[in-house]
Amino acid sequence: MNKNTYVMLIAVMTACGGLLFGYDVGVISGALLFLEKKFELSDQGQEVVTSAVLVGSFLGALGAGWYTRRFGGRSANMLAGAIFVVGAFASAASDSTETLTMSRLLVGFGIGITAVAAPLYIGEIAPPDRRGQMITLYQLFITIGILVSYIVDLAAAPHWRIMFGLGAVPGVVLAVGMSFMPSSPRWLASRGRMDDAKKVLDRTLEPAMAERALKDIKNDLETQKGLPHWWLAFGTRAARRASVITTTLAVLQQFIGINAIIYYAPRIFQKAGFADAKAALWATLVVGVVNVLATFITMGMVDKSGRRTLLIWGLSGMVASLGILGLAFKQFDHADAQKSAQHYSQQDAQQSEPLSAAQTAKQIDAQSANETVKITAQRLATDPAPPHNLAAATSTDSPTDVASPRDLPSTSEGAETLAWLTLVCVIVYIACFAFSMGPLVWVLIGEMFPLQARGSGNAIACGGNYFANFIVGATFLTLLTKLGASNTFLIFASVAMFTLLFVLFFLPETAGRTLEEIEQDLGEKTPTAR
């Protein structure tokens, strides 16, 4: 096996950690449609179940820094795979909201570990001229995991236990596959195993590059010898700048709303006018396909075009698509409110007219349903996203068959336009994210930190990412209810604009540089421009 093939095999196997993250992100969006009925989950209950995995990810990411520093990225990825397998089966077997929440907390712990360990391990193995492409594989596998989960959601619906249980497959692949991969040469060298480090470098790099890499590692270790770990992680200018830049971008990656849209995509599409669950899942599947295809594009461009260029173009597209989406929802929400209010007024007038005996009997039979209508009308007055399917909401069937107002299609004359405009804007947003913020944040996390700060630095950045992910996942439905879809998406657009400005003013170019060169640039007061 030649060197390029061997390195690609290592990167692909490690990137299977992204499958864990991606599959869980996607599978919960479809499963929620059925968990809501099974466990009678409110919006807050859905947010708790969804965000439990993010709490676990945050804790796992923080612990992964110490673990990778002590045992290496290879061992950390194996551990993450094993934890995910246990969590997936536990989620599938859950018979209460409490057990499901705890199971997803365990799943999140495994995801948090691999989020730190996978980019770090790939970044230390990959050649400098292919490092961006290799780390991008992690994000590609996240998108593939999301797409696979959407397909599973469609095929397995309404069997949510199957959806969760199949998540054990990527966990098994990661745990078993990583057992055949080598340890990172930089970790081996830090443990004093120079001969083993040289063997790995000889298998992954050309002879001249391998010799230079080993020399740089030795020099780096000699410079840092005797210094306390806390100083290596935070005491140097290079480590501080790397931590500030990567953590800021990792947090902002979530505050632009990506996982809110992924988690709740079916709900968003239902709100926009895709009436039933199947239609919403199909629309979500289209988004998943676009996500994968756009990430493939990034793999071919990331080392040629550079990190900054892709981020600038991608963020510009996200600002535009989120802004249009927010303005569209504002227009149609207002139209829906007026039309729905007129509808309910007409119904009240009809109910006040004299009734025949037959009509009276019919009214008695429908009394409970009509009470539900009145409650729905009251909610309408305070809900910025009015009920959608009024026919279902005013049905004379039993109250248990009355559809939930938050999930019903729009009654405005432009509902179909809103539905398709929403789909187009979400597709553009996902595509722009997939060739910029999606993969490149992980690339930067994997390559910007000095050697001895790499484990702790990655843990801090990933911990920030999952903490922000938790906040968004735990509040998104509440924001939709309190602020409306329009204002929610406009907030995401504002954050995307702030992120664009941050990249323009603070992010140096790292493409094509060795890890040691990046450290040197970050340590200078004026980093070398590329």
| The model's pTM | 0.66
CATH code of the domain in which 423 resides: 1.20.1250.20
Report, as an integer, the average pLDDT of 397-426. 55
Average pLDDT, rounded, for the chain: 77
pLDDT of residue 494: 94
Please indicate whether residue 408 or residue 176 has the higher confidence score (pLDDT): 176
In a domain, 162, yes or no: yes
- Let me know if 38 is exposed, middle or buried by CB neighbors in 10 A (0-12, 13-18, 19+): middle
Structure tokens at 405: 């107002």
- The residue assigned the tokens 């002879």 is 207
Contacts of 244 by beta carbon, 8 Å cutoff, 6+ apart: none
In a domain, 351, yes or no: no
Please tell me the distance from the alpha carbon of residue 519 to that of residue 133, in angstroms, as a whole number. Answer: 20
In this predicted structure, the answer to whether residue 357 has a pLDDT above a threshold of 60 is: no
Report, as an integer, the average pLDDT of 208-227. 78
pLDDT of residue 335: 53
Q: What percent of the chain has pLDDT over 90?
A: 18
In a domain, 357, yes or no: no
> Is it true that the peptide bond before 384 is cis, omega within 30 degrees of 0?
no
Please tell me the distance from the alpha carbon of residue 224 to that of residue 54, in angstroms, as a whole number. Answer: 35
CA angle 38, 39, 44 (to 5 degrees): 130
**11-20, 84-93, 354-363: least confidently modelled range:** 354-363
In a domain, 338, yes or no: no
Report, as an integer, the average pLDDT of 356-380. 46
Structure tokens at 23: 């599959």
In this predicted structure, the answer to whether residue 499 has a pLDDT above a threshold of 90 is: yes
In this predicted structure, the answer to whether residue 81 has a pLDDT above a threshold of 90 is: yes
Top mean pLDDT of 245-249, 333-337, 350-354 is at 245-249
In this predicted structure, the answer to whether residue 211 has a pLDDT above a threshold of 70 is: yes
Q: Which band of pLDDT confidence, cut at 50, 70 and 90, is reported for residue 406?
A: very low
In a domain, 32, yes or no: yes
Of 418, 271, 410, the closest CA to residue 338 belongs to 410
Q: Which band of pLDDT confidence, cut at 50, 70 and 90, is reported for residue 379?
A: very low
DSSP 162-191: HHHHTTHHHHHHHHHHHTTSPPPHHHHHHT
Contacts of 364 by beta carbon, 8 Å cutoff, 6+ apart: none
In a domain, 404, yes or no: no
pLDDT (tens digit per residue) in 129-164: 788 888 888 878 888 888 888 788 778 878 888 988
Of 255, 125, 231, 119, the closest CA to residue 186 belongs to 125
Structure tokens at 98: 């409490």
Please indicate whether residue 396 or residue 281 has the higher confidence score (pLDDT): 281
Q: Which band of pLDDT confidence, cut at 50, 70 and 90, is reported for residue 175?
A: very high
In a domain, 103, yes or no: yes
Q: Which band of pLDDT confidence, cut at 50, 70 and 90, is reported for residue 526?
A: very low
Structural domain of residue 514, as residue ranges? 3-181+226-328+417-523
Q: Which band of pLDDT confidence, cut at 50, 70 and 90, is reported for residue 372?
A: very low
In a domain, 354, yes or no: no
Q: What percent of the chain has pLDDT over 70?
A: 75
pLDDT of residue 23: 87
pLDDT of residue 339: 52
**136-150, 222-236, 451-465: least confidently modelled range:** 222-236
Q: How many domains does the chain have?
A: 1
**91-105, 333-347, 463-477: least confidently modelled range:** 333-347
Contacts of 505 by beta carbon, 8 Å cutoff, 6+ apart: none
pLDDT (tens digit per residue) in 257-268: 887 776 666 666
Instruction: Say what angle helices 307-351 and 415-434 make with each other, to 10 degrees.
Output: 160
Please indicate whether residue 455 or residue 297 has the higher confidence score (pLDDT): 297
